[in-house]
Amino acid sequence: MHNDDELVLKNFFTQLTVEVRASIHTIKSYQRDINHLSGYCEDKTIDHWADLQSTDIRSHIASRHRKGLSSKSLHRELSAIRSFYNYLLKKGLVSANPAQPIQAPKQARKLPKTLDVDQLSGLLEAGASSILEIRDLAMFELFYSSGLRLSELSALDLADLDLADKTLVVRIGKGGKSRVLPIGSKAIAAIKNWLKLRIIKPDAGDALFTSTRGTRIGQRSIELRLELWCKKKGIAEHIHPHMLRHSFASHLLESSQDLRAVQELLGHTNISTTQIYTHLDFQHLAEIYDKAHPRAKKKPL
């Protein structure tokens, strides 16, 4: 690349850091992705960003795909390239964004992994034998009871709960949206047990769940506590907090068949995001059909 074009790229990342305040993870990903594009330009002896055409972007992405890159990674690379060229457009350095019309191969949608009711009962009824386990059980019950995201549970304050009304408020969910959720009786009982023993220090504010230091428990700590809980209770399967949210959604949809209600409870902006749980529900129904239907059980002659 020409020196001026290298300087433009450097200025782009400065803008991402200072003005956009993108995360370090995003910046590193973008740098890696655009470095791959720079490598393509070197191979094709393209010296200026303005000389790249849509056919070049398509060829580059196809080459990355042949190297075994996943659809998700290709989508991310295209996003980085589009962002860079949008920056060049604003600066008047290019006349069009060559990455705009290019599409990455479609990504196969994976079904979220869930636990069945018996597995969850075994997980949540294993018994708590210490203050921290009483807190952990309250967290896990609340995950499954209200379908919370990990970030939402960690951010909960005492003021967000109304145990008499059996509700809680997620004040800042994904996309900055708030929502009111019901709390089940098992979760309420577990929370009350925790509140009797809750460790608190002034800098924890009004945090519902606190660490041994009396400060708000972090997201990674919650993940590690769930791993430890499963290990101590003899549960071999790797279970993460989002599996409890997935299980909440799947079990609720299976019982109610009310997709809109599940969408509201999960805080999904688009119902298409919630619809993935209908596939899980259908799988469950198909298994019941195969086991129970007289004609399904008979093998062909």
Task: Read off the tokens for 66.
Answer: 């042949």
In this structure, which amino acid lies at residue 109? R
Query: In the annotation, is 251 catalytic?
Result: no
Q: Give the H or E element holding residue 179.
A: strand 179-182
Contact predicate 61/70, CB 8 Å: no
pLDDT score at 38: 92
* Bridge partners of residue 179, in order along the sequence: 170
Query: In the annotation, is 277 catalytic?
Result: yes
Find the length of the chain.
301
pLDDT score at 301: 45
Q: What tens-digit pLDDT sequence spans the chain (301 residues)?
A: 688 888 999 999 998 888 878 888 888 999 999 999 999 999 999 989 999 999 999 999 989 888 888 888 888 899 999 999 999 999 999 999 999 998 877 765 666 677 788 888 888 887 888 999 999 999 999 999 888 999 999 999 999 999 999 999 998 877 778 888 889 999 999 999 999 988 777 666 789 999 988 889 999 999 999 999 988 888 877 888 988 988 888 888 777 777 787 788 887 777 766 767 666 555 554 555 566 555 455 554 4
Catalytic residue among 10, 90, 174, 192: 174
Distance between CA 109 and CA 268 in Å, rounded?
17
Rounded to whole angstroms, the maximal C-alpha distance in the chain is 75
In this structure, which amino acid lies at residue 119? Q
Query: In the annotation, is 174 catalytic?
Result: yes
Strands 167-170 and 161-162: antiparallel
Report the interhelical angle of 24-43 vs 54-66 (nearest 10°). 100
Query: In the annotation, is 2 catalytic?
Result: no
Catalytic residue among 64, 216, 225, 245: 245
In this structure, which amino acid lies at residue 191? I
Catalytic residue among 65, 186, 233, 242: 242
Global pTM reads 0.57
- The helix/strand/coil state of 180 is strand
Distance between CA 33 and CA 273 in Å, rounded?
27
Task: Read off the tokens for 78.
Answer: 């295209």
Catalytic residue among 149, 198, 220, 289: 149
Give the chain's domains with CATH numbers.
3-90 (1.10.150.130), 117-290 (1.10.443.10)
- The helix/strand/coil state of 168 is strand
